[in-house]
Amino acid sequence: MMPTSKGSFRLFRIAGITVYLHWLWFVVALFIIRDPTSRYPSTIWNAAEYFGLFGIVLLHEFGHALACRSVGGQAEQIVLWPLGGVAYVNPPQRPGATLWSIAAGPLVNVALMAPLTLAILWGMTQGWWIKDNEVRTLLLSLWVINVVLLVFNLLPIYPLDGGKIIWSLLWFVLGPAKSLLVAAIIGMIGVVGVMLVAVWTRSIWLGILSAFILTSCWRGLQTARMMIKLEKMPPA
């Protein structure tokens, strides 16, 4: 099921976009912040890392929303939940507009690489690498988190950004329906790989996420089949 504002509360509204936060976010935050295996000596640093993750995800979703608006589309809502975020965008039904709306999210992560890397390099000049330092650990963690989110989102698995980018690119050649069908089939194959990784690593979170992706991918497949049937129907 796609995250919705149900079970969420409004955080703020900026540039005409309302941001909602699901209540389960606090449950997961409490679990992570109080993690006894943490690398930090204080839970304050755990909280800082988790809120850093929150900020990265939020900027990623605003990238989608603002890009969609830049091509004349509609984007009025972002929902943040424990496994990430969703920007509800409705770009014009053109492959180029859709591609830009999707690609802008990962491009935000690419842009974030510069300030994070510069902060780490500056820390090296301050001697943070000589001994254990919480700021150093935090910056390195956020750098890794940003890269992992970028790489994961670019996996060619619908409905991840990578799968939607494939859909948009194929749209130029195959049209919206057939391209969605191909992207969904590729996604179904890819999500099996994610599930295998979840089993191999015994990752509960990755298992839950892969189940969500599989559900969304199946829904995309069904939508594509319905669109193809509608295209084949004779005009009234």
Amino acid identity at 23: W
Helix, coil or strand: residue 4: coil
Question: For the chain, what percentages of helix, strand and coil (3-state, to nearest 5) are there?
Answer: 65, 10, 20
Locate the DSSP E strands across the chain: 8-14, 17-22, 74-81, 84-90
Determine contact, residues 171/95, Cβ cutoff 8 Å: yes
Determine contact, residues 75/19, Cβ cutoff 8 Å: no
Find how far residue 16's CA is from the centre of its chain: 21
Predicted pLDDT at 1: 44
Which residues fall within 8 angstroms of residue 203, CB to CB, at 6 or more apart? 197
Determine contact, residues 116/96, Cβ cutoff 8 Å: no
Mean pLDDT by 10 residues, the chain (236 residues): 65 90 77 68 81 91 95 92 84 94 96 92 74 79 93 91 95 92 91 88 82 86 87 69
pTM of the model: 0.86
Predicted pLDDT at 130: 61
Determine contact, residues 61/84, Cβ cutoff 8 Å: no
Nearest CA-CA partner of 146 in 188, 117, 176: 117
Predicted pLDDT at 75: 92
CA distance 223 to 74: 21
Locate the DSSP E strands across 37-178: 74-81, 84-90
Nearest CA-CA partner of 64 in 96, 18, 111, 104: 104
Distances in whole angstroms, Cα of residue 15 to Cα of each of 18, 62, 66, 235 = 8, 10, 9, 41
Pairing state between β 17-22 and 84-90: unpaired
CA distance 103 to 158: 14
CA distance 220 to 199: 25
Q: Which two tokens stand for residue 228?
A: 């193809």
Tokens 């189940």 sit at which residue?
211
Predicted pLDDT at 128: 65
Predicted pLDDT at 45: 82
